[in-house]
């Protein structure tokens, strides 16, 4: 084969391989969602128009290295819709955008007629409502199916170390002036480390963030006692712990908070207990 032909074929192969490699991106990992049943709406109404505009706005704002955004859309009156997104504090801008875009699309599919809904992914949360966003809505508990009995540590000692880790991270996060996000770790044994992550929405006051964290941490013994990993997902905050590293300490971005609104205490009225088999 002539040398020039071999070069041409090699160049084409490299181009195709490079295009495939660099266009490949991770798919956002879905966690859970809640569509409230208290308010429903018929399709093709002014609320649906405003909702579509809101979800589009949230997706577009996630391209600006913004990890938190909260706004109200009232182009078509009445029936304004309020919404927000929150990306995990260690998430890069591209991953934040991909997650918010996927979440917005899934909300329209999973909650087609509800006027209030929330969806959580591994690295983001999207929420909307026709009411104030500090209304009480359900949260979700998710726990690993494996117990700590597979680790050489007593349950009491595990719970003691877990509570200490989560409470120290909650204190650090709520006192943060920007992202209200914290990660940390503690050694369970000489060979096993417990990793923790907590985050509030940045618009919450110190008091509201503390109350949300307190509610989340208090629910762990009820939903996830003895589990090696779990997460509690609430509208205003979330906590997670695992016995493997699941967050990044190198790519943490400080979010630009756009148009924050006054907030109130965010609690949870009921929880769904799910097993996380990952």
Omega within 30 of 0 (cis) for the link into 78: yes
Q: Which residues have CB under 8 Å from 106's CB, separation 6+?
A: 30, 33, 119
Quick one: 51 and 155 in the same domain? no
In a domain, 98, yes or no: yes
In a domain, 6, yes or no: no
Q: List, in sequence order, every residue forming a beta bridge with 81; answer none if it has no partner.
A: 73
What DSSP assignment string belongs to the chain?
Answer: --HHHHHHHHHHHHHHHHHHHHH--PPPPEEEEEE-SS-B--SSSHHHHHHHHHHHHHHHHTTTT-SEEEEEE-SSSS--EEEEEEE-TT--HHHHHHHHHHHHHHHHHHSSSBSEEEEEESSEEEEEESS-TTS---EEEEEESSBGGGSSS-HHHHHHHHHHHHHHHHHHHHT-SSS-EEEEEEESSSS-EEEEEEEE-TTS-HHHHHHHHHHHHHHHHHHHTTBS-EEEE-SSEEEEEESS--S-SSS--PPPEES---------S-EEEEEE--
In a domain, 36, yes or no: yes
Q: List, in sequence order, every residue forming a beta bridge with 197; answer none if it has no partner.
A: 183, 240
Average pLDDT of the chain to the nearest whole number: 79
Strands 124-129 and 116-121: antiparallel
Q: Which of 111, 129, 147 is the last residue of a domain?
A: 129
In a domain, 263, yes or no: yes
User: pLDDT tens across 131-151, in order?
Assistant: 877 644 556 666 666 667 678
Report CA 255 to chain centroid distance, whole Å.
14
Q: What is the mean pLDDT of residues 220-240?
A: 91
In a domain, 39, yes or no: yes
In a domain, 167, yes or no: yes
- What length is written for the chain? 278
Q: Which of 96, 129, 162 is the last residue of a domain?
A: 129
In a domain, 34, yes or no: yes
User: pLDDT tens across 33-73, in order?
Assistant: 999 866 666 666 888 889 999 999 999 999 877 899 999 99
Quick one: 242 and 125 in the same domain? no
pLDDT at 59: 93
Domain with 112 in it: what CATH number?
Answer: 3.30.430.20
Quick one: 162 and 69 in the same domain? no
Quick one: 159 and 236 in the same domain? yes
pLDDT at 64: 78
What is the span of the domain harbouring residue 163? 139-276
Quick one: 147 and 252 in the same domain? yes
pLDDT at 270: 31
Quick one: 117 and 184 in the same domain? no
Quick one: 77 and 176 in the same domain? no
pTM listed for this prediction: 0.78
Quick one: 64 and 190 in the same domain? no
Quick one: 39 and 124 in the same domain? yes
In a domain, 245, yes or no: yes
Q: How far apart are CA 253 and CA 86, in angstroms?
A: 13
Based on the structure, what is the number of domains in the chain? 2
pLDDT at 260: 35
Quick one: 168 and 116 in the same domain? no
């Amino acid at each position: 084969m002539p040398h020039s032909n071999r070069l041409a074929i090699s160049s084409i192969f490299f181009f195709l391989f490079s295009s495939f490699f660099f266009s490949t991106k991770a798919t956002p990992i879905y966690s859970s969602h809640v569509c409230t049943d208290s308010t429903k709406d018929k399709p093709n109404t002014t609320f649906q128009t405003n909702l579509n505009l809101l979800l589009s706005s949230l997706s577009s704002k996630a391209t600006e290295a913004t990890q938190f955004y909260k706004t109200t859309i009232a182009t078509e009156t009445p029936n304004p819709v309020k919404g927000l997104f929150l990306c995990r504090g260690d998430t890069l801008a591209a991953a934040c955008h991909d997650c918010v875009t996927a979440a917005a699309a899934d909300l329209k599919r999973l909650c087609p007629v509800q006027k209030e809904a929330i969806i959580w992914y591994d690295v983001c949360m999207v929420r909307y409502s026709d009411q104030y966003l500090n209304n009480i809505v359900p949260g979700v508990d998710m726990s690993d199916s494996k117990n700590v009995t597979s680790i050489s540590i007593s349950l009491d000692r595990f719970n003691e170390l877990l509570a200490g880790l989560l409470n120290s991270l909650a204190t650090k996060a709520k006192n943060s002036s920007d992202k209200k996000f914290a990660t940390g770790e503690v050694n369970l044994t000489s060979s096993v480390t417990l990793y923790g992550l907590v985050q509030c929405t940045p618009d919450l006051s110190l008091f509201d963030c503390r109350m949300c964290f307190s509610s989340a941490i208090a629910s762990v013994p009820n939903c996830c006692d003895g589990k090696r990993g779990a997460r509690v997902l609430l509208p205003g905050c979330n906590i997670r712990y695992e016995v493997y590293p699941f967050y990044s300490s190198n790519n943490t971005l400080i979010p630009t908070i756009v148009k924050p609104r006054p907030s109130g205490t965010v609690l949870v009225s009921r929880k769904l207990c799910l097993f996380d088999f990952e």
